[in-house]
Chain A
């Protein structure tokens, strides 16, 4: 890090650094005032207060006034303070199954990273790319997507990034020097994005969405159900993304043999797989099979936590390794988000909100799905995808219930759409990493990203229309 002195006029610096404080005071005053207000007709006093807490959290999440996990913690303590529920009840949301499922998944991903197994897998997938530049692009995309099936897409991007940097250095590219380097970084980022929606392991947002569904008492979605529902979207987007990247940007290299040589050197450096890596690979396969076939019976969290225990029994990782590599903050955020959604449902506030403000403007369940997906896709470009799920899903589920729809439909729609961010660096860490390479400029990315957004939206709606009914998910 480097020291920089902000020389703008002091009042501007003050405003830019401390503008949040007046907003905190206003939000505090808003909550304080709402405590004594009479609720509107049709809404219980608890429901009204729950709604006020939700609105406050929504503002905190949308405008990033506090770090996401801290807002999550606030969402846990605010309801008891407002008299919506007891303290004991509020803190039980941290003990919910989805929170522990995602904790286990994060720990397994950290172990994959730390052991070097993920890098070995990525290198294996990238090798033999000497045949053509197009094939290398396909392999970068494929490796990123495939690894995002079993690891958080953020972790995959962090692991793939240095490998793509090595490739570009081997090919002697310079940032802004040509378009092939740009294609490689986009292939990495968008490969992660597309692969990340395929399973429940591609990021925390799907377990969060399922957790909200589960804690609101609307049943659950199994590992296999999720993947079956979204797989057509993944296939379509993967194919389209490859075509778009290879057609939209000119491929300005003839050979990528040097890259292959460098990758071969990297593989040689890794040496033979260690015993720990073999064990971890087996454990991961076992866990995925467990989630697929036993998850609905013994619980998703049980399997992930069991896998973690085995990881430690065989000393594959140490606790210190995990402390560095697990996103602990996100787990805090999930506890709060699941809690607030559950309260909205149990107090009837979500339903009241849907009936009063949303349902009168929507004429069919299809419009609900179309609007909800579009809002999610657009918001996720500028907001954390988990925050988008936390904000939109509780209302979406209530509206779906008003239409007599199974709320699971909204989980599929929001959970999938929240992962489809392509354009802006703040949308998702994988895209941010691609920008940090120096090879991308927003103006060169915005058109293909907009095309990807449009195609993703279309693919989601078409899948909902033609594929989901075959799986028994009817709109």
Chain B
């Protein structure tokens, strides 16, 4: 395989077929198989059981695993067994799998209900939520802390990502997540990121950082496929950009991120959005979640892995030029991370890779956590109103 980046994209697009004699269970409770490609590149890939013909077959040869590509090529991979902790239960009797999903080095949580995608009836590849999950009894911050503690006993994770879901309130979802953040901060030494909507006022961004959040993913939409009146959309877009720019000044460099879904809009529009975000100090994370067959979005889907490669190259090169730190998205195994865009670029990634490897050491991790706390301690102040 010539390019590991392209391989990861293709795996995300096609999924894999399972060969003979593979261990069971092969996938986690959400149907994802965890693999590590060469160059320590993690990927979580769905089993191709839904009709799309995948050229990739996971095979086992003795103790080793490899990917067989259309019977022509072999790529050695590491298979990571699904975490056993998903089956474990918190003291209130909830299974861990009903509370969180682990992706590489971070833990994704939808505290209140299933995400929009999950509610549509299909299992969400990002947060693991589903219609079934949303019917489970709701869990409490205490349950979440216990579940994370159970995960941490089995696997090292650096970051807990909480998602507010789609909200229409002025705070962008911050208030709803405050008690969850407080509980995690109180009991666990991890970094915290929130998935939010850009809030109506910048005070909420200050509040978000001050309450102990290390990174934020803002839900943005800069492309208007004429669904909304132009004037309203422009107003909405201007506010989004203002909020992102402000957040870029409040959070550490690279810690303000935004998902851009690749393939649902013309690629040229996605490229424009990348530039808009990077110009404001925001790291775009290109999510390439090809819709399942049967999904209503399937018809709008146009992007093949080969077609989107220039987007990743552009993203990586712009990040390097603007000195924005891409380290906040390290081990994201369901997307091709901005740093993995290096596979499509001539620009050297030596510095960023060294930093990444340093953060993976015990000392680097402790230093990273310590510096994040120190930065907050120094920057957050309480001042009288008015």
Interface positions of A (Cβ within 8 A of B): 1-7, 10, 13-14, 17
Contact B381 A7 (CB under 8 A): no
- Judge if B186 is at the interface, Cβ distance under 8 Å: no
Contact A4 B383 (CB under 8 A): yes
Give which listed residue, B207, B209, B249, B378, contacts A17 with CB less than 8 A: B378
Contact B385 A5 (CB under 8 A): no
- A3 neighbours in B (Cβ, 8 Å): 203, 206-207, 210, 380-383
Chain B binding surface, main DSSP class: helix
Shortest C-beta distance, B178 to chain A (Å), equals 12
Shortest C-beta distance, A429 to chain B (Å), equals 15
Interface centre among A1, A4, A6, A10 (most CB of B within 10 A): A4
- Judge if B250 is at the interface, Cβ distance under 8 Å: yes
- If A3-B382, A4-B382 touch, whether A10 touches B210 (CB-CB below 8 Å) is no
- If A10-B375, A13-B378, A14-B378 touch, whether A2 touches B209 (CB-CB below 8 Å) is no
- Judge if B64 is at the interface, Cβ distance under 8 Å: no
Interface centre among A1, A2, A5, A10 (most CB of B within 10 A): A5
Which B residues from 198 to 235 make CB contacts under 8 A with A? 203, 206-207, 209-210
Contact A2 B385 (CB under 8 A): yes
Give which listed residue, A1, A2, A5, contacts B379 with CB less than 8 A: A5
Contact A6 B382 (CB under 8 A): no
Please report the C-alpha to C-alpha distance between residue A4 and residue B381 in the assembled complex, in whole angstroms.
5
Interface positions of B (Cβ within 8 A of A): 203, 206-207, 209-210, 249-250, 375, 378-385
Contact B385 A1 (CB under 8 A): yes
Contact A13 B379 (CB under 8 A): yes
- A5 neighbours in B (Cβ, 8 Å): 206, 209-210, 250, 379-381
Please report the C-alpha to C-alpha distance between residue A3 and residue B201 in the assembled complex, in whole angstroms.
13
Residue of B nearest to A16 (CB): B378
Contact B375 A2 (CB under 8 A): no
- B379 neighbours in A (Cβ, 8 Å): 5-7, 10, 13
Shortest C-beta distance, B263 to chain A (Å), equals 36
- B250 neighbours in A (Cβ, 8 Å): 5, 7
Please report the C-alpha to C-alpha distance between residue A1 and residue B203 in the assembled complex, in whole angstroms.
13
Contact B378 A2 (CB under 8 A): no
- A1 neighbours in B (Cβ, 8 Å): 382-385
Contact A4 B378 (CB under 8 A): no
Residue of B nearest to A17 (CB): B378
A–B Cβ pairs within 8 angstroms, 8 of them: A1-B383, A3-B203, A3-B380, A3-B381, A3-B383, A5-B380, A6-B379, A17-B378
Shortest C-beta distance, B385 to chain A (Å), equals 5
Please report the C-alpha to C-alpha distance between residue A13 and residue B250 in the assembled complex, in whole angstroms.
13
Please report the C-alpha to C-alpha distance between residue A4 and residue B382 in the assembled complex, in whole angstroms.
6
Known: A2-B385, A3-B207. 13 other contacts (CB 8 A): A1-B383, A2-B203, A2-B382, A3-B203, A3-B206, A3-B380, A3-B381, A4-B380, A4-B383, A5-B209, A7-B250, A7-B379, A14-B378
- B378 neighbours in A (Cβ, 8 Å): 6, 10, 13-14, 17
Please report the C-alpha to C-alpha distance between residue A4 and residue B385 in the assembled complex, in whole angstroms.
10
- B249 neighbours in A (Cβ, 8 Å): 7
Closest 8 pairs between A and B when the two form their complex, measured CB to CB: A1-B382, A3-B210, A4-B383, A2-B385, A6-B379, A13-B378, A3-B206, A5-B206
Please report the C-alpha to C-alpha distance between residue A337 and residue B268 in the assembled complex, in whole angstroms.
73
- B380 neighbours in A (Cβ, 8 Å): 3-6
Shortest C-beta distance, A328 to chain B (Å), equals 23
Please report the C-alpha to C-alpha distance between residue A222 and residue B96 in the assembled complex, in whole angstroms.
76
Please report the C-alpha to C-alpha distance between residue A10 and residue B383 in the assembled complex, in whole angstroms.
19
Residue of B nearest to A7 (CB): B249
- B385 neighbours in A (Cβ, 8 Å): 1-2
Contact B381 A6 (CB under 8 A): yes
Please report the C-alpha to C-alpha distance between residue A3 and residue B206 in the assembled complex, in whole angstroms.
7
Shortest C-beta distance, B305 to chain A (Å), equals 40
Contact B375 A4 (CB under 8 A): no
Shortest C-beta distance, B317 to chain A (Å), equals 27
Shortest C-beta distance, A128 to chain B (Å), equals 34
Please report the C-alpha to C-alpha distance between residue A7 and residue B249 in the assembled complex, in whole angstroms.
7
- B207 neighbours in A (Cβ, 8 Å): 3
- B383 neighbours in A (Cβ, 8 Å): 1-4
Shortest C-beta distance, A226 to chain B (Å), equals 37
Shortest C-beta distance, A273 to chain B (Å), equals 35
Please report the C-alpha to C-alpha distance between residue A17 and residue B374 in the assembled complex, in whole angstroms.
12
Shortest C-beta distance, A396 to chain B (Å), equals 38
Shortest C-beta distance, A425 to chain B (Å), equals 13
Please report the C-alpha to C-alpha distance between residue A2 and residue B383 in the assembled complex, in whole angstroms.
5
Please report the C-alpha to C-alpha distance between residue A17 and residue B375 in the assembled complex, in whole angstroms.
12
Please report the C-alpha to C-alpha distance between residue A82 and residue B216 in the assembled complex, in whole angstroms.
53
Please report the C-alpha to C-alpha distance between residue A3 and residue B379 in the assembled complex, in whole angstroms.
10
Please report the C-alpha to C-alpha distance between residue A17 and residue B385 in the assembled complex, in whole angstroms.
21
- B210 neighbours in A (Cβ, 8 Å): 3, 5
Interface centre among A3, A6, A10, A17 (most CB of B within 10 A): A3
